[in-house]
Amino acid sequence: AQSVTQLDSQVPVFEEAPVELRCNYSSSVSVYLFWYVQYPNQGLQLLLKYLSGSTLVKGINGFEAEFNKSQTSFHLRKPSVHISDTAEYFCAVSDVNFNKFYFGSGTKLNVKP
Amino acid sequence: DGGITQSPKYLFRKEGQNVTLSCEQNLNHDAMYWYRQDPGQGLRLIYYSQIVNDFQKGDIAEGYSVSREKKESFPLTVTSAQKNPTAFYLCATDGAMNQPQHFGDGTRLSIL
């Protein structure tokens, strides 16, 4: 079975500063990797996904993530955050053989002016 | 406009009452999922369905039931056996292997 760990439950950061949200996973098989964003009282929106190929993946709203197979990580980064990036972010993995998703516990990003 | 519609957005349950949450999709996706979200716990899978008239239990199915009579619809019933039903419920779909899941806007269930 797969599992996903998001080590930071909350990340405070000032506007225009860079940010990294950490995600580590464990799996005995190959996986696909995803980052989602959730605004209050809404569903999850896909930010980016890694299926294969280049390990650096670019997504919407200026976010990017890098897949590191040896460290089983898929950290999310943004070079300069905006107030509007304040939300909760979820990392997810799915087994390439069976489309069941496993979600991390989420990281709340709080961007301060 | 394609998407997933969950209704109602807010729902209140009395003790001993069953309530049903609606999830409708027009994405023509085969697979549909129900998740429960509690603060600090991420999303936990309740039930999922890969095709019409078939569904499987997820990690926390006790106290819940589902049906999949139509491709477009996957309603979730929270029964009186679910002793702690207060949570945010999310419905999701996906169209194929290696594709991301698409989510509705959720239903927040509370106890009166």
**Contact state of B106 with A43 under an 8 Å Cβ cutoff:** yes
Report the range out of A4-8, B37-41, B93-97 with the highest average pLDDT: A4-8
Q: In this structure, what are the phi and psi dihedrals at residue B59, rounded to the nearest 5 degrees? A: -80, -20
Residues of B in contact with A90 (CB under 8 A): 42-43
Q: Locate B80 and state its tokens.
A: 């009186």
Question: How many residues does the structure list for chain B?
Answer: 112
**Residue A64: what residue type?**
E
User: pLDDT for B71-82, tens place per residue?
Assistant: 999 999 999 888
For residues A32 and A37, what is the distance between their CA atoms, to the nearest angstrom? Answer: 17
The set of residues, in sequence order, having a beta carbon less than 8 Å from that of B99 and lying 6+ positions away, is A99
The set of residues, in sequence order, having a beta carbon less than 8 Å from that of B88 and lying 6+ positions away, is A41, B36, B37, B38, B106, B107, B108, B109
**Contact state of A43 with B103 under an 8 Å Cβ cutoff:** yes
Confidence of residue B2 (pLDDT cuts 50, 70, 90): low
Question: Pick from A15, A44, A4, A5: which is nearest to A109 by CA?
Answer: A15
Distance from CA of A33 to the nearest CA of B (A): 9
**Contact state of B98 with A99 under an 8 Å Cβ cutoff:** yes
Residues of A in contact with B46 (CB under 8 A): none
Q: Is the pLDDT of residue B95 over 90?
A: no
Question: Pick from A62, A93, A87, A99: which is nearest to A77 by CA?
Answer: A62
Residues of B in contact with A43 (CB under 8 A): 4, 6, 90, 92, 103-106
What is the maximum span of chain B, computed from C-alpha positions, in angstroms? 41
Confidence of residue A25 (pLDDT cuts 50, 70, 90): very high
Q: In this structure, what are the phi and psi dihedrals at residue B68, rounded to the nearest 5 degrees? A: -145, 75
Task: Return the pLDDT at A48.
Answer: 95
Beta bridge partners of B20: B77
Stretch B92-99: mean pLDDT: 80
Q: Is the pLDDT of residue B29 over 60?
A: yes
User: pLDDT for A77-103, tens place per residue?
Assistant: 999 999 999 999 999 998 876 667 899
Task: Return the pLDDT at B34.
Answer: 97
* Exposure string for B67-100, b = 16+ CB within 10 A, e = fewer: ebeeebebbbebeeebeebebbbbbbbbeeeebb
Residues A95 and A2 sit within 8 Å (Cβ to Cβ): yes
Q: Locate B6 and state its tokens.
A: 């969950």
